[in-house]
Amino acid sequence: MKNKIILLKLSYEYKHENFDIFPCVIQDEKNLVLVDCGYSNSLHLIEEEMISNGLNPKNLTHLFLTHQDDDHMGSAKEIKVKYPNIKIVASLKEKPYIEGTKKNLRLIQGEKVLDTLPKEYKEFGIEFCKRYENLNNVKVDITVNDGDILDWFGGCMVVETPGHTPGHTSLYLKNEKIFITGDAAIIEDGNLVIANPQFCLDLSTAEKSLENFKNLKIEKYICYHGGILGAN
């Protein structure tokens, strides 16, 4: 089986506006790894995308969660229930928030600004907080730290990319010069930029993370928001 990175496209609609996010699958001879998994109730979208790309969801070995945001981990519990043999992987720093032993930092952020939101944004703020209050937590089976090498795709390095959240992590496939950003960066107008700076829990740290991994030898960035930047 050839080593491949397969980009999945999950399409959503919010208030009559369509938008896409891009989880990816890392495939090698022994592993089939899904990186992030969309909002709650997205399993059917993931399965459809995998099947359309010739992948069997039953063969998933791991789900790597870059961080605690609901659009990245929302369907993790659903996936674990249907495919109980899959191993959930996340950073040690993000683990308590993903598991729910600590209150989700995005919910704390939302609650903090809710009372000060202008009237036109109040409904969004309330919906935002409710999403996180109802977020399904999931047990993390394997914790990782900065610099850990995972036995995926001939060696996949965990890179701490804090700022968006304190324990945010990305993946660096050094041999292939591929970097899977999560929300450490997004693509806007063909450029790599900070993802939703208004939501960054520490913007200056997020900027440092972006500069740090830009200095790595990378030919292709896979961004959860935007898709692929670089050679195809």
- Distance CA(126)–CA(203), nearest Å, equals 24
Q: Which residues contact 18 (CB under 8 A, 6 or more apart)?
A: 11, 12
Can you give the pLDDT at residue 17? Answer: 86
Domains of the chain plus CATH, in order, are: 4-102+138-230 (3.60.15.10)
For residue 168, what are its two tokens? 């945010």
Question: How much is the pLDDT for 1?
Answer: 56
For residue 19, CA distances in Å to 63, 165, 181 come to 23, 23, 19
Asked whether the predicted pLDDT for residue 78 surpasses 70, the reply is yes
pLDDT band at 14 (very low <50, low <70, confident <90, very high): confident
Whole-number pLDDT of residue 15: 79
CB of 38 within 8 A of CB of 49?
Answer: no
Q: Tell me: the pLDDT tens digits for 165-200?
A: 999 999 999 999 999 999 999 999 889 999 889 889
* pLDDT one-digit tens code per residue, 88-139: 999 999 999 999 999 999 999 999 999 899 988 899 999 999 999 999 999 9
Q: How far apart are CA 140 and CA 143, in angstroms?
A: 7
What is the structure's pLDDT at 231?
58
pLDDT at 141 over 90: yes
Residue 206 reports pLDDT greater than 90: yes
Please give the residue that has the higher pLDDT: either 172 or 15: 172
Q: What is the rounded CA–CA span in Å between residue 5 and residue 16?
A: 31
Q: Tens digits of per-residue pLDDT, 30-74? A: 999 999 999 999 999 999 999 999 999 999 999 999 999 999 999
Residue 226 has pLDDT above 80, yes or no: yes
221 or 14, higher pLDDT: 221
User: Quick one: pLDDT band at residue 6, thresholds 50, 70, 90?
Assistant: very high
More confident residue, 1 or 13: 13
